[in-house]
Amino acid sequence: MSSESSYFASVAPVRYQGPTSEDPLAFRWYDKDRLVLGKPMAEHLRFAACYWHSFVWTGLDPFGGDTFQRPWFSGGSPMELAALKAEAAFEFFSKLGVPYYCFHDRDVAPEGATPRETLANFERMVEKLAAHQQRTGVKLLWGTANLFSHRRFMSGAATNPDPEIFAMAATQVKAAMDATKQLGGENYVLWGGREGYETLLNTDLPRELDQLGRFLNLVVEYKHRIGFEGTILIEPKPREPTKHQYDFDVATVYGFLCRYGLEREVKVNIEANHATLSGHSFEHEIATAQALGIFGSLDMNRGDAQLGWDTDQFPNNLPDTSLALYHVLKGGGLTTGGLNFDAKVRRQSIDAVDLFHGHVGAMDHCAHALEIAARMVEEGRLAGAVDQRYAGWREPFGQQVLEGKLTLEALSEHVLSRNQDVLPVSGRQEAMENLVNRYL
């Protein structure tokens, strides 16, 4: 089979044309070199496109088969198709203008008949990815291992009842970490799609937690052994595909990390759609991760309020994204992390150009939200209102309480000696909501 014909030949490289542009494949807001709070937009946003939804997903759903007919889905050997897929992916990344991409190991290379053959396939494709990165300048934001699709992982990977499958998962993660380091990846992500349970009737929950803790410690130990300087990330999700996943949300992950002594070693990759599935907002999960010191990276997508599963749609809710990025900026911005579009076009969007429509719109949306968030930060009215609300804690009495200088008895004596009631103060929620709306 030939790879000479380009799948995206009809699409020109996407350029910034400004807010008045009517070109659906031009950026109206995303000007990568524009300074926002003293830093180029591209450095604030650190966009990445995902390999899996864009180049692996076939459009199937539980009620119907493939709708996409990409040329790398059939017509050659598995390795030939993997090479063709990589060529198309890097053409797409380059024309779109994203500085980064992300992948699972099984996205880029097919599974072989044996573990050795599987590893050989992966290593051959990693060499090709390295050449594409060198040629295009596109970098790897993070790599990860798919420990959930193969039937061997139907009962979990690290949490599997069989230690031999635990070892298979470890072998796969080792190879994916080696590849991530070789390709200059800035993070490594673990997503426990099957690390949970369907029923407690057949589950030893304490044992599975200990297995998962041991697995993650092995990953961190290996990171230091090979000199990988990137960040290890866990991606929280409450359910789907399992009924209950052990990495339910940011707070749950933090408790897990503390139990197994990893809170200084591992951070979180927060996905917007996973946040809402756990009953939280995206901004809540970001703010929680920052408060706990484990904020790492973001997957930018959204769910459908009328559907109870992970729909992975491109972001388009300006208030939600603006407030999410406001918290990112307030917390000091992204470091090794980025904004990865873990989103897929709808199964009716079958043309090659639809991949561009989804990503161009999402990148523009995030750039617009960044400008709104930056104005909120610059003007400081929201932060000022919050500071004023907690002003008493900066006074000597409040500081003494926080520093542990006052016992429960001392606090009681303080109240009784003053012998005055304390009146509550309005939280001004509606006023602050109105203030946010003025920025939009």
Annotated catalytic sites, by residue? 104, 107
Distance CA 92, CA 354 (A): 12
CA separation, residue 239 to residues 202, 245, 289, 389, 416 (Å): 18, 5, 19, 37, 50
Do 175 and 221 contact (CB within 8 A), yes or no? no
Residue 21 CB partners (closer than 8 Å, separation 6+): 27, 28
What is the rounded CA–CA span in Å between residue 223 and residue 235?
A: 18
Phi, psi of 47 (to 5 degrees): -65, 145
123 CB-contact burial (10 Å; exposed 0-12 / middle 13-18 / buried 19+): middle
Strand 196-197 relative to strand 244-245: parallel, antiparallel, unpaired?
antiparallel
Task: Round the CA-based radius of gyration of the chain to a whole number and report it.
Answer: 24
CA triple 16-18-23, angle to 5 deg: 75
* Eight-state DSSP code of residue 141: E
Dist CA 128 CA 126 (whole Å): 5
Q: Which of 258, 300, 275 is nearest to 49 (CA)?
A: 300
User: 250-259 and 205-226 are packed helices; what angle lies between their axes, rounded to 10 degrees?
Assistant: 80
Give the CA count within 13 Å in the CB-facing half-sphere of 168: 20
Question: Strands 139-144 and 100-104, how do they pair?
Answer: parallel
